[in-house]
Structure 1
Amino acid sequence: MFRLDPERNYPKKTESHSIIRFQDCDPLQHLNNAKYLDYYFNAREDHVFSIYGFKTDYTFRKYNCSWVVYNHQIGYVRPAKVSEWVTIITSVIYFDESTMVTEYVMTNENKTELKNVMWTTSKYISVPTGKVVPHQEDIQQFLKTVSVEGVDFPEITFNDRIRQIKQALIEGRY
C-alpha cells in the first residue's frame, strides 16, 4: 500500500546515473533513438519506487486503473554515446484530474551538457472500460506532492523548455 509521509519532504526532481550500453547503440555508437524511451521509463520506475515508495502497479491493484501514454515530444540535442555515463532526471511537470505530463532529461554525468529532453503525456484510464477517469484522491495528493513548480506547461513550448534547461545547466541550477 502506498502512503505519503506528511512529515517528509519529497524531492520534486529525481535522478540517477546509467551507462549507455553497446547493445542499445546504432553503428555510429550513438544511443538508438527508440532506446531513449527504455532508459527513461526504467529510470522513472526506479525513481518513484526508491524515492517515493510508489510501485507502478499500485493503481492497477488498488483501483483497476493505469496511466496510458497519449503522446511523446522528444528533442535529440546531443548524442549519448556507447559506454558513456549519463544522468537521467525525471519529474512530473503537469497534472490535472486525468492527465499527467512527465519530463525526462538526459545529460552527461556531470550535468553540464544536455543530451535529450522528452515530455510524455499520459491519460489515466479504467482498465476494464479503457475510458479516461479522474485520479483518485490519494493519486491527486501524490501528484501534487511530487510535481515540480515553475514549469508553466500549458503555456511554454517544448523548444522554449529545452532552452530553459540548457540555461539552467550552464548556471549550475538544474
Structure 2
Amino acid sequence: MELLKTVSSTATIRFQDCDPFNHLNNASYINYFMNHREDQLIKAYGIDIYDMARKLGKSWVSNSNQIAYIKPVFLMEEVHIESQLIAFDTSNLKVEMRMYNKEKTHLKAIIWCGFTHFNLLKQQKELHTKAFMSLFQTILNPIEESQFDNRVDQLRFSSTKR
C-alpha cells in the first residue's frame, strides 16, 4: 500500500474556540492543526504519539510554530485541513499544514510546525530510528519555498487564481 504524502481531514469550528466576534480565536488555530495532524498520524501511518510516549518514553515535542492568518474562520464553519512533512533530519521534523474553507476555494491559514524527537525518560533529544527515517523519506513532500513568508505569498497568489 502506498503511503499518502499529503493527508487531509475536515473539522467544524466550535463555540468554545471562538472570540466574541464568532471568529476562530488565533490560539485555537494551532489546536485544530495539531488535532488534525495527531489523528492523521494514526490513520495514515499507524503512529500514535501518545502510545509511544507511554510505552517507549519517546515522542515528539513542538519546537517552533510559524503561522499566518489569511482569512477569518467562523463559528460552525466546516474547514478542510491538510498537512505534509516538508523536511526532516536525524532528530527533527518540519510539517506544513493548511486550512481552507470546506470547498478548498479559500485559504484560511497556514502553519509551519517544527518538532524534535524527544526521550521523555532521559529528558533529552532522541535520534530517529532507521524505521522512522525510512518512513519519513517515503512520505516527504518538500516544497520549493524555504522562507515562510514567501510560501504564504505563493499560496495566497495560487488561491486567488482558483
TM-score, normalized by the shorter chain, greater than 0.5: yes
Give the Å deviation of 1:41.
Answer: 1.1
Pick from 75, 84, 102 the counterpart of residue 91 of structure 1: 84
Does the CA-based 8 Å contact 2:49-2:60 persist in structure 1? no
Secondary structure, counterpart of 1:34 in structure 2:
helix
Which residues of structure 2 form unaligned runs of 5+? Answer: none
- In 1, distance between residues paired with 2:106 and 2:99? 9
Pick from 14, 22, 28 the counterpart of residue 21 of structure 1: 14
Pick from 158, 161, 166 the counterpart of residue 151 of structure 2: 161
Give the Å deviation of 1:163.
Answer: 2.1
Indicate the larger mover: 128-137 or 104-113. 128-137
Once the two structures are superposed, the pairs formed by residues 147-158 of structure 1 within 5 Å of their partners are 147-149=140-142, 151-152=143-144, 156-158=146-148
Equivalent position of 1:44 in the other structure: 37
Secondary structure, counterpart of 2:36 in structure 1:
helix
- In 2, distance between residues paired with 1:133 and 1:47? 23
- In 2, distance between residues paired with 1:34 and 1:105? 15
Equivalent position of 1:10 in the other structure: 3
Pick from 104, 125, 128 the counterpart of residue 132 of structure 1: 125
Give the Å deviation of 1:131.
Answer: 1.5
- In 2, distance between residues paired with 1:122 and 1:51? 19
Paired residue type of 1:106: M
Equivalent position of 2:72 in the other structure: 79
Does the CA-based 8 Å contact 2:3-2:45 persist in structure 1? yes
Could you list the per-position Cα deviations for residues 57-111 of structure 1 after superposition, in whole angstroms to 9, with x for gaps in the alignment? 3543564321111111111111111111110111111100111011111011111
- In 1, distance between residues paired with 2:52 and 2:120? 10
Does the CA-based 8 Å contact 2:84-2:95 persist in structure 1? yes
Equivalent position of 2:53 in the other structure: 60
Paired residue type of 1:134: L
Tell me the matched-pair count: 162
Q: Structure 1 or 2: larger helix share? A: 2
Which residues of structure 1 form unaligned runs of 5+? Answer: 1-7
Q: Structure 1 or 2: larger strand share? A: 2
CA RMSD of aligned residues (A): 1.8
Q: Percent identity?
A: 32
TM, length-normalised to structure 1: 0.85
Secondary structure, counterpart of 2:53 in structure 1:
helix
